[in-house]
Structure 1
Amino acid sequence: MIFRAELEDSLSNCNCTYNFNNSILTPFYANVNVMFNNPCGNNWDGSTYLWFGSDTTAPRWLATPSLDISAGNFMVVFDMRFSDHTGNPGTDCEGPDEPDEGIYLQYSLGGLNGPWTTMAYWDPSLSPGEGGHVQNLIEWNNYSVVAPDASLSANTRFRWIQFEATGRYYDHWGLDNITIYKISDKTPAEAETNITVIAPAPENLTAVAAGNTALLHWNKEYCTDAAGYKIYRKAGPSGYIPSGCETGVPSWTGYSLIATTNDINDTTFTDNNQGLGLPHGNEYCYLITAWFLNGAESQASNEACIVLPDDVPVITHVSVTTTSASAGTIFVDWSKPDDFDTLTYTGPFRYDIYRSLDFTGGTYSFIASNFGLNDTTFNDAALNTSGEQYFYRIDLMYAAGTATYNFFSSSYQASSVYLNITPLDKKLLLNWNYNVPWNVDRTVVYRYNELTLTFDSIGISYSNQFLDTGLVNGHSYCYKVETIGSYSLPGFVAPLRNFSQETCAAPKDVEPPCAVNLTVSVNCDDVANYLIWTNPATTCGDGDVGGYEIYFSPMTDGEFVLIDTIADPNDTSYMHLGVSSVAGCYAVVAVDTSGNSSDFSNIVCVDIDECDLYQLPNVFTPNGDGYNDFFIPFPYDFVEKINIKIFDRWGLIVFKTEDPDILWDGKNQNTNIDCSEGVYYYICDVYEKRLSGIRKRTLTGSVHLYRNQ
């Protein structure tokens, strides 16, 4: 068990505390718009915090002003929170869940332009379950990071940065109460001590190569309440050694989680790359941590690495050279296996070349053979490179002085690069995919120049997508991409450059307007509802709105039906007439000039409670003077029928009807004789046209019958 004490020292001589209670960014710097309106609830002290919401996408960063920390022994303390990952866009509160969407804390001695050095990283994916729900990260928590010696200068800046996000509506986070203060060199007599307890690393990790697999072994974790182990792999060593209380394996090391075990006593693992075998050409390195049911991880083990023998063909190129639906060509190249034992496995030799339209080995078809160990290139022809992605495998064969060739080994499969384009409004989103055994570092994006009739480089991407903006809707643009990478071991050609097919697309408006905000007021006299909503051109800058659709449902659980359309984008009101009741629910949809529809507005429901409900008087005078001669209700709305029974004081029914107007003239309905003066009692079931449908409301009471008044 490892302990570290953090001393909270009141003798600090640096007053470098910043909160955002005044909703002002200064003296900090940010590369994008930030929010100060607490969009995702309160923090733990209820004050204003800084938030990166849906106004922007990554990279998002906040940098401190220049600080003099040359006196040494400083600490960066701050509050931070990620939003919980929901996967639902459209808010400012949708959090990160992927290992590259977390937050780095960095320092720079060279100003805002850097270079920047990473001090710490918070990974939203590190959880025994689904990423994006790490409890410590999705709640406001306080973090303390000691400034490393290399950061101590008279002109130091710190920054928090998120390099990757799915888009503006995703992966939001915030900061508050940032303090940079000096820790005294001597412990004061009285100090508050916080102790962090972490689990030690599994010890003595070893890795042994066996064919195209790695056999791992380590000592059992000391903490007996550990639930199991996490196995991480990387192509090439990182040299990572945990510092201080750092647990788990930070994503900046380049390691990826490949397996999680559930038995603390099982201290071995065979890495066969999920049955596909490890590709040759790379050095594979491993780290092990113990994990616990509360989501915690131990510190990482020592790093152990293996090198697979170079005794198989290693594919280095699968590059599209001609784009065509039927006459496409692909250049395939591989490396000669230098460690192949030609004394034991004697020639003649050949390479058998296989091709597939998917990655599974069962669908590979033999297409050609190259004879001799030095013939390591092949040009595949008559392909549909414009519409298909191709996968290749190379088998090494030996004949041992006979005419019959025997199988020795297979290369790891490698695919061509396949480019897809998604049209957007005045822009095109390029996405490409590949499945190759080498490491792809970056991708160069090319667009066809209609003036020079050549492909020009327009950008470099470090992911698998690129957004080309500032385009003209309806105009066709053509692209191809070139991936650039290498194997981690020396002895292979580098860099490895492979082209995708060429493909074209035209941008078009497929982005809907933002949803409007709706309000509804009731006009009981006219039996109508008046709708007013916001204009997207005003609320979110959508200038191409063409009109609106009005939807209505008579009940809260009913189906919404389109009742009308408005072709004027500036007409943001509507009167719903011709209904039998004002009860109902409404929604409005904005439609742009390209026919794209926004989401429903907020749904607004109104009911008859805002109007005159059915009520009965307590007196009437049926004396024939033309005034108050009938027992009738007060003015009412939206009644389908009633069922009233009127009783004398002995409980006998003297009148009943289903007519909502009643119109009792004071006579006994059975005998047509005037009823005597006095008090009469009624039970009246009123059937009203409400939002929930026809609902019964029962009235009970009494009425005085006078004749001489």
Structure 2
Amino acid sequence: VNRLWSHGVSAFDVDGDSLAFELIPCTGGNGQVVPGYVFPDDFLDGGPNGEITFDQEFGIVTWDSPMTAGLYNIAIRISEYRFGFIVGSVVRDMQIFIDNCPNQPPINDELPDVCVIANEDLVVQYTAEDPDGDPLELFMEGEPLELGAAFTQLSVNPASASLQWTPSCQEVRTNPYLVYLRAEDNSESPALSDNDGFTITVIGPPVENLTSSLEPGGTILLEWDDYVCSDEASGFKIYRRIGTNPFEPGECETGLDESEGYTLIGTEESGNTTSFLDMTVPFGNEVCYRVVACYPDGAESIVSAEVCDTIALVIPVLTNVSVGETDLATGIDTVRWFPPLELDTTFFSGPYSYKIYRAEGLNGQFEEIFQTPNSSFLDIGMLEYIDAGLNTQDIQYRYQIDLLDNGDEIASSNSASSILLSVTPSDEEVTLTWNEVVPWVNTLYEVYRFDNDVNDFVIIGNTEESVFIVDSLENNVEECFLIKSLGGYSNPDYAGPFENWSQEECSTPFDNQAPCPPELFVEGECEDDSYTIFWSLLDDKCSSDVAGFNVYYSPNTFDSLQLIQTIDQVSDTVLEFNDGDLYGCFAVSAFDSLSTRPDGSLGNNESELSNIICIESCPEYELPNVFSPNGDGLNDSFMPFPYTYVDSVDLKIFNRWGNLIFETFDPDINWKGENKDTGSNVSDGVYYYTITIFENTLLGMNPRKEAGYIHIFDNRSVPSEE
């Protein structure tokens, strides 16, 4: 009592699947929760009985200072997950006996999570101390102990122990290994313990001695040593970037984060592979590589060291794919390139010519479109080809240049595309986005807008990104734009800047921005039969053009909201209800004024719904216990007192022999004391009734059952046996 208590389940999965731990209510033999069960810390009539916390990573339950001695029960569900899907679970039940004792539990020193590279030694020091000075016995459990890790206790108080483990390549996996710690005292009173846990992640070693070498045709061959975990690895990922990034991976860091600027360019599907040929090397730039080993469960190794290289100028060097004319049928692209000046002209002696290939889109197939005349000279400066008769308005074209020596194709350039510009209209603004795939690096983009005053495009800004927003425009007025890129290669002989233009692209801004949703409020009480629902607009900027509101309603919480009212006055933000029986859920949206769309039609924009406010009913339905159907105009009918929120009733009235003499579904009842079968007045006396009252509530129709007696007196009919 009034001591810290903890317990760990020490579970692990032999398949390496992820485990999730959950503290759940205790269930009986039928699998249902035991009636009246509460967690032990809520045992004292709903009041506090210490505080139970649960570590879902390690399955450690801790009860901080239980206040009442007794026997308590808890249950822990352990679920097994594989690739994010649950594959099984088991429930562990346990009893906890809380008693008064002077003993204090030991205290573990915290251990951080650690990682270890396969085939390297890991040593973890574990220490604990007992406040009462009792000697401690230390325990360590978990899968590493089943896989050969050695645990040795060195002292008893302060207690210390060490874990030594050299995991093999077979232990590399994505999920960490759970290790459970327990320090238990040797007190004469009941022994107490402290439970903790930490994880060990076994990671794959890096690929070693990555090298690069230049190969014929402008390719680069990467090679590395036999991987030490080749039998366990499933393959390799090869990454490339333009320019070096000599970062060192952090401790326990595996894989290669995209923020480092590398692009995945290829994979090898065997752990025994020791090379990769890059056949798409971008010429003119320093290209750098790293390699990551992969494992069957998705684990990745530490990334390799970086290696960089630059291919010689042995392929044609594309510098320009620029749109010169925008048109659906007569568009023009201008393609420029330099000859491969470092080509061995002793071996390739000419004559020289070039084939130009074109493809539609970034993934289309290349087709030959032109071959230049033969030339005896290779170094003749920049070459140019004007490609006409194109649909440059809608299609992005990609080009490749092949060098021919005496009619034989001997080298191909990297491919390059034009810039494809897209313009997305919005309210008084447009968003420009564009893309291109080129072997050089574009470092700046200039944005041009057509100016009617000068009848030409003028620059309005620049950016290093591939997106630009132009605002403060006039709705329903067409705007046209161009993008010019400036870029070059890292090779100083081809540093540029090379200028390339996109196609012209036009669009018309229009109001397609919905107002901000209102915020909804309610005032009033159900019992007062009066409610006021009102709302306000919170953001003046996005609510400046509000023209009205739509009111939505559902009588319950499970049906969808339906439009019940449209308010065309922006100043009208109040709904009053004074006729009672108001219940259900309400929401409000705002809409703006009608405006012209690009297709000439009129339309407006509706906001998202406001917060939803639900008003619960307060049903009232009460019957009298006496009435006198004597025709004097006073109390002549059996009917309820004024009622609210009642849809219908199922009323049955019986005489003293149990015969049904009246029934109705009408909540007003209005029974005048007549037998339903004979039509005659029943005699004075006491009659029994049952009634089911169907009440309107947020959760739907609620049937409420009642029964009672009615006393009829002063009846003008002759007494009968009814």
Alignment TM-score, normalising by the size of structure 2: 0.60
What is the distance in 2 between the residues matched to 1:380 and 1:311? 25
Q: Secondary structure at the match of 2:365?
A: helix
2:359 equivalent to 1:350: no
Deviation at 1:439, TM superposition (A): 1.8
Larger displacement relative to structure 2 (520-529 or 200-209): 520-529
Q: Name the CA shift for 1:525/1:221 in 2 (closer, same or farther; >3 Å).
A: same
Q: Equivalent residue for 1:280?
A: 283
Q: Equivalent residue for 1:702?
A: 708
Superposed CA deviations along residues 255-312 of structure 1, whole A, max 9, x for unmatched, are 234467787x445463657xxx333333321123457899986543211234345332
Q: Secondary structure at the match of 2:442?
A: strand
Q: Name the CA shift for 1:452/1:661 in 2 (closer, same or farther; >3 Å).
A: closer
- Counterpart of 1:384, as a letter, is N
Superposed CA deviations along residues 398-442 of structure 1, whole A, max 9, x for unmatched, are 33xxxxx33333322211112222223333221111111222222
Q: Equivalent residue for 1:566?
A: 567
Contact 1:476/1:506 (<8 A) preserved:
yes
Q: Name the CA shift for 1:685/1:260 in 2 (closer, same or farther; >3 Å).
A: farther
Query: Which stretches in structure 1 are left out of the alignment for 5+ residues?
Result: 1-193, 400-404
Give the share of equivalent positions with the same residue, in percent. Answer: 37
2:364 equivalent to 1:338: no
Contact 1:646/1:653 (<8 A) preserved:
yes
Query: Which stretches in structure 2 are left out of the alignment for 5+ residues?
Result: 1-197, 596-603, 716-722
Q: Equivalent residue for 1:63?
A: none
Residues 389-408 of structure 1 aligned to structure 2 (within 5 Å): 389-399=396-406, 405-408=407-410
- Counterpart of 1:203, as a letter, is E
Contact 2:516/2:539 (<8 A) preserved:
no
Deviation at 1:645, TM superposition (A): 1.2
Counterpart selection for 2:468 from 463, 466, 469 = 466
Q: Equivalent residue for 2:395?
A: 388
Q: Name the CA shift for 1:426/1:656 in 2 (closer, same or farther; >3 Å).
A: closer
Bigger-Rg structure (1/2): 2
Q: Equivalent residue for 1:206?
A: 211
Residues 524-539 of structure 1 aligned to structure 2 (within 5 Å): 531-538=533-540
Residues 549-698 of structure 1 aligned to structure 2 (within 5 Å): 549-554=550-555, 556-558=557-559, 560-574=561-575, 582-593=582-593, 594=595, 595-606=604-615, 609-610=617-618, 612-622=619-629, 626-637=633-644, 639-670=646-677, 672-678=680-686, 680-688=687-695, 695=701, 697-698=703-704
Counterpart selection for 2:509 from 507, 510, 514 = 507
Contact 2:515/2:542 (<8 A) preserved:
no
- The two structures, once aligned, show a CA RMSD in angstroms of 4.1
Counterpart selection for 1:270 from 276, 296, 302 = 276
Contact 1:246/1:299 (<8 A) preserved:
yes
Q: Secondary structure at the match of 2:494?
A: coil
- Counterpart of 1:592, as a letter, is D
- Counterpart of 2:667, as a letter, is P
Q: Equivalent residue for 1:239?
A: 246
Alignment TM-score, normalising by the size of structure 1: 0.61
Contact 1:522/1:528 (<8 A) preserved:
yes
Contact 1:444/1:457 (<8 A) preserved:
yes
Question: Aligned pair count?
Answer: 502
- Counterpart of 2:660, as a letter, is I
Higher relative contact order (CA 8 A, sep 6+): 1
2:296 equivalent to 1:300: no
Contact 1:317/1:497 (<8 A) preserved:
yes
2:431 equivalent to 1:420: no
Superposed CA deviations along residues 139-179 of structure 1, whole A, max 9, x for unmatched, are xxxxxxxxxxxxxxxxxxxxxxxxxxxxxxxxxxxxxxxxx
Superposed CA deviations along residues 524-556 of structure 1, whole A, max 9, x for unmatched, are 899997542222554x65212122223344554
Superposed CA deviations along residues 18-53 of structure 1, whole A, max 9, x for unmatched, are xxxxxxxxxxxxxxxxxxxxxxxxxxxxxxxxxxxx
Contact 2:357/2:366 (<8 A) preserved:
no
Deviation at 1:221, TM superposition (A): 5.8
What is the distance in 2 between the residues matched to 1:252 and 1:526? 62
What is the distance in 2 between the residues matched to 1:687 and 1:369? 90
- Counterpart of 1:586, as a letter, is F
Q: Name the CA shift for 1:492/1:443 in 2 (closer, same or farther; >3 Å).
A: same
Q: Name the CA shift for 1:381/1:268 in 2 (closer, same or farther; >3 Å).
A: same
Q: Which has the higher strand share?
A: 2
Q: Secondary structure at the match of 1:362?
A: coil
Q: Name the CA shift for 1:614/1:446 in 2 (closer, same or farther; >3 Å).
A: same
Q: Secondary structure at the match of 1:204?
A: coil
Larger displacement relative to structure 2 (277-286 or 669-678): 669-678
Superposed CA deviations along residues 437-482 of structure 1, whole A, max 9, x for unmatched, are 2222221223344455554433221110112233333444433222
Q: Name the CA shift for 1:681/1:267 in 2 (closer, same or farther; >3 Å).
A: farther
Counterpart selection for 1:321 from 306, 319, 324 = 324
Counterpart selection for 1:366 from 359, 366, 369 = 369
Deviation at 1:325, TM superposition (A): 4.0
Q: Name the CA shift for 1:658/1:471 in 2 (closer, same or farther; >3 Å).
A: closer
Deviation at 1:705, TM superposition (A): 0.9
What is the distance in 2 between the residues matched to 1:554 and 1:249? 54
Contact 1:442/1:461 (<8 A) preserved:
yes
Q: Equivalent residue for 1:50?
A: none
Contact 1:370/1:376 (<8 A) preserved:
no
What is the distance in 2 between the residues matched to 1:243 and 1:523? 61
